[in-house]
Amino acid sequence: MKQERLAVIGVGLIGVRHAELIRAHEQCALVGLCDVDPNRRAVAERFGVPFYASVEELIERKQPSGVVIATSNDTHAAVAEICARRSVDVLIEKPIASTLEQAQRIVHTAQECGIQVLVGHHRRHNPLVQKVRELIGDGSLGRLIGVSILWVLLKPDDYFDVGWRRERPGGGPVLINLIHELDSLRFLCGEITEVYARTSSAVRGYAVEDSVSIALHFASGALGTVLASDATPAPWSYEATTGENPAYFRTHENCYTFLGTAASLAFPRMELWRYADGSRQGWKEPMERLAVAVAGADPLTRQLTHFCRVIRGEETPLVDAQDATKSLAVALAVQESARTGLPVNPAMVGAR
């Protein structure tokens, strides 16, 4: 199979991770790295590939078939446009942008230039997440009533040495972290029609939140709650419970609960609870706990395989620019609700 020639733009932590994945993947080859920081040249030397300070020069000299954009969120639109004008397909790290205007610019430019855009909401590629979607979709839980999410952990002090993590618009767990949860909820439970949120920065006192509570309403009529904080020593976060990122201490706890009329499901241990005798139900009746078997796989690797197939025209993006823009709208609705103290329909964000 012909290897796809891929480059990475933005050589921070996630950019380096993408470069590592590309180097290890049989379907693609790493042909160059790009960053505005000249100190990142050392990373390119470690990988044995050319380093460029200019996206235009990288594309002109290396002619990649695809590019991973891992720059800061507010630069995604500008970098994507440079790639689109040169007919290069892109994988953009989440969130797609910092604002809806920037996200819509990516959508329109991609359509105009005829390129494919895959957005890096990589959890959709996790077999565990895909199994939950299957169980909800095939009626194993009955009608979905609600979902509850805990995302709680302690970020170390030096995490905030990077200034933008303490400032708006891009800092804080809503856009850095919960954008993942909100996208997964859309993928698993359907569109979100209303959010009502409260945030607090009482622990650290930064301009951005350190804690947030969110009430959600889905188009199906299901309800949801999210309680999140990056200021507490706690074991109930997606990263810690799934083991998806080996940099996190693994806790083997559950962090999501899905409630249906026929059964409930605890994630990621995939514990399905239902009545042992379906004809006898109620709080006095015995229940059984079933373990749902799921074969594990690295979602970032699966996402990269998918990107290669998108470039070759074999698949359409699992998360395209329009889809990712809807997830961004939900996150921005959370911020607007917290600011105004009012419920917000994500579809109306930016309409006023």
Find residue 148's DSSP bridge partners. Answer: 225, 257
Question: What pLDDT score was predicted for residue 2?
Answer: 84
pLDDT digits (tens, 9 = 90+) for 166-176: 888 778 899 88
Question: What pLDDT score was predicted for residue 292?
Answer: 98
Rounded average pLDDT over 146-170: 91
Rounded average pLDDT over 61-88: 96
Counts of helices then strands in the chain (DSSP H, E):
11, 14
Q: Does the structure show a pLDDT above 70 at 352?
A: no
On whether the pTM is more than 0.75, the answer is yes
Rounded average pLDDT over 274-286: 89
Question: What pLDDT score was predicted for residue 279?
Answer: 81
| Third-level CATH fold of 126-296+330-340 | Dihydrodipicolinate Reductase; domain 2 (3.30.360)
**Cβ–Cβ < 8 Å for 222, 189:** yes
Q: Does the structure show a pLDDT above 90 at 36?
A: yes
Question: What pLDDT score was predicted for residue 142?
Answer: 97
User: Rounded to whole angstroms, how far apart are CA atoms 204 and 283?
Assistant: 43
Q: Which residue has the tokens 């796989």?
A: 297
- Average pLDDT across the chain, whole number: 95
Question: What pLDDT score was predicted for residue 163?
Answer: 84
For the ranges 31-35, 91-95, 281-285, which has the lowest average pLDDT? 281-285
**Cβ–Cβ < 8 Å for 258, 220:** no
Parse the chain into domains and list their residue ranges. Answer: 4-123+299-321, 126-296+330-340
User: Rounded to whole angstroms, how far apart are CA atoms 17 and 15?
Assistant: 5
Question: What pLDDT score was predicted for residue 247?
Answer: 86
Question: What pLDDT score was predicted for residue 45?
Answer: 96
Question: What pLDDT score was predicted for residue 167?
Answer: 85
Q: Which residue has the higher pLDDT, 351 or 218?
A: 218
Q: Which of 299, 340, 344, 327 is nearest to 97 (CA)?
A: 327
Question: What pLDDT score was predicted for residue 302?
Answer: 98
Continuous H helices in 8-149: 13-24, 41-47, 55-62, 76-85, 100-113, 127-137
Q: What CATH class has 4-123+299-321?
A: alpha beta
Question: What pLDDT score was predicted for residue 351?
Answer: 57
- Beta strands 192-200 and 144-152 are unpaired
pLDDT digits (tens, 9 = 90+) for 202-221: 999 999 999 999 999 999 99
For 148, counting Cβ atoms within 10 Å of its Cβ (0-12 exposed, 13-18 middle, 19+ buried), the class is middle
Rounded average pLDDT over 123-128: 98
Q: Which residue has the tokens 């440079």?
A: 82
Residue 138 binned pLDDT confidence (cut-offs 50, 70, 90): very high
For the ranges 75-84, 241-250, 257-266, 312-321, which has the lowest average pLDDT? 241-250
Rounded average pLDDT over 39-63: 97
User: Rounded to whole angstroms, how far apart are CA atoms 10 and 79?
Assistant: 10
Q: Does the structure show a pLDDT above 60 at 183?
A: yes
Question: What pLDDT score was predicted for residue 16?
Answer: 97
For 237, counting Cβ atoms within 10 Å of its Cβ (0-12 exposed, 13-18 middle, 19+ buried), the class is buried
pLDDT digits (tens, 9 = 90+) for 301-340: 999 999 999 999 999 999 999 999 999 999 999 999 999 9
**Cβ–Cβ < 8 Å for 201, 171:** no
Question: What pLDDT score was predicted for residue 345?
Answer: 97
